[in-house]
Amino acid sequence: MKKLLSTVCTAALLTLSCGGALSQNYPTKPVKIIVPFGPGGFTDVVARILGVKLSESLGQPVVIENKPGAGSMIGSDQVAKSAPDGHTLLIVSSTHVISPWIYKTLPYDPIKAFTPVTKLVDSPYVLLTNPKVPVKNVQEFIALAKSKPNDIHYASSGNGSAQHLIGGLFASMTKTQLKHVPYRSSSAAATDLVAGVVESSFAGVPNALAQVPNGRLNALAVTSAKRIPQLPNVPTMQEAGVPGYDATIWLAMLAPAGTPASIVNRLNSDIAKIMSSPETQKAMYEAGVEVSLSTPAALSQLMVSELDKWGKVAKEAGITLE
C-alpha cells in the first residue's frame, strides 16, 4: 500500500510539474484559433479582433483559421482531436450546444471533448428582409408568410446553425411555414439576401450594420429581450408582436479536453484583460456584440444549461437533420 501511495503521489507531482512547465513555457509556437464558420460572420469578426491582441499578449502569432460546415461540427471536431497543449483553440457559438439536438450523430461530445476557457460575448440576431419584400414590420411579414406557405425563404449560415434554429423558433412561435436555405457562411447568406435571391434572414448584428443603414436591407426586429444600442429604432421581437420570443447568442473559447489548468487560466486572464480594455470594447460594440466574460467553471455550467435549453427549442420547432 505504501508503495502504491508513493507511486500515485509521484505521478501527481509529475503531472503538476509538467503542467507548471507547460504554463511557464507556453506558448512555444504560433497559436491557431479555429472558427467553425465562414469568414465575415460575427464569430469570425470577434475572433479576428481578439486574435490581434492575443498575439501581442502571448508573444506568438495567433492565426485565425475558418473551418465552416455541418453546423460547426467540422471545425469543432478538428479541435477536439488536437493536442491539449493550448496551441489549438476553438471559438464556438450557441450552435455548439444546438448541433447535438439537430444531427443524429456527432463525432465528439460537445461537453466532454473540450476544456472551457472563457465566455466572450453575447449578441442578438436581427430579422432582415430584402427591400423588395412588401412588408414594413414583423406582423406584415407573418401575414405574408401565412398567405404563401413555404414560398418565403430565410437564409442561414448552414444546417444546424444558430441562424437556422432561431428562424425555426420564429416559425414555430408564429405558426408560419418558412423555407430554410442553408449557406456555407453568414456572409454568403447576406450576399444572396441583398441580391434578392432569398427574402429574409435572421442575421448577426455585423451583417445588419453593414447593410441596413445604406438601405440595402430592412431590419424588422432584434431577437433579444431588449433593444440594442447599435440599432435603437429597431424593436424587439416581443415589441413587434411575438410574445415570449428571446434568443440571444453567445460566443466562447474552448480548448481540447485535457488542456492543463495552468494554460487555461493563463488564457482566461489574458483574454479578460484584452476584452476589458476600452479599445477592444469599442471594437466589439462596432461589431455589434457585447463583451460578456466568465470563469472556465461558469462557462462549463452555461454550456450544460444551454444544451438543455436548445434541446427543448429544437424539439418544439421540429428541426432535425440527418
* Predicted TM-score (pTM) of this structure: 0.79
Contacts 24+ apart (CB under 8 A), 290-295: 290/121, 290/122, 290/123, 291/120, 291/121, 292/119, 292/120, 292/121, 292/122, 292/250, 293/118, 293/119, 293/120, 294/118, 294/119, 294/252, 295/118, 295/268
pLDDT at 23: 60
217-269 confidence digits (pLDDT tens): 999 999 999 999 999 999 999 999 999 999 888 999 999 999 999 999 999 99
What gap in Å lies between CA 57 and CA 77, rounded to an integer? 27
Alpha helices in the chain (DSSP H): 2-25, 42-58, 73-80, 95-102, 138-147, 162-174, 186-195, 205-211, 261-276, 278-286, 296-317
The pLDDT mean for the chain works out to 90
pLDDT of 319 > 80? The answer is no
pLDDT of 169 > 60? The answer is yes
Which burial class, exposed, middle or buried, applies to 299 when counting CB atoms under 10 A from its CB (0-12, 13-18, 19+)? buried
pLDDT at 3: 52
SS3 306: helix
Q: What is residue 321's DSSP assignment?
A: B
**Which of residues 24 and 85 earns the better pLDDT score?**
85
| β-pair partners for 88 | 32
CB 255 within 8 A of CB 90: yes
Candidate from 91-105, 145-159, 246-260 with smallest mean pLDDT: 91-105
Between the CA atoms of 104, 185, 82 and 257, what dihedral angle is there, to the nearest 10 degrees? -60
For 229-263, the DSSP string reads TTSTTSPBTTTTT-TT----EEEEEEEETT--HHH
pLDDT at 73: 92
23-35 confidence digits (pLDDT tens): 678 999 999 999 9
- The single-letter code of the amino acid at 253 is M
Q: Sketch out the chain's domains with CATH numbers.
A: 29-122+249-317 (3.40.190.150), 125-222 (3.40.190.10)
- Determine what percent of the chain is predicted with pLDDT higher than 90: 71
Q: What is residue 118's DSSP assignment?
A: E
- Whether the upstream peptide bond of residue 131 has omega within 30° of 0, thus cis, is no
Average pLDDT over residues 301-306: 95
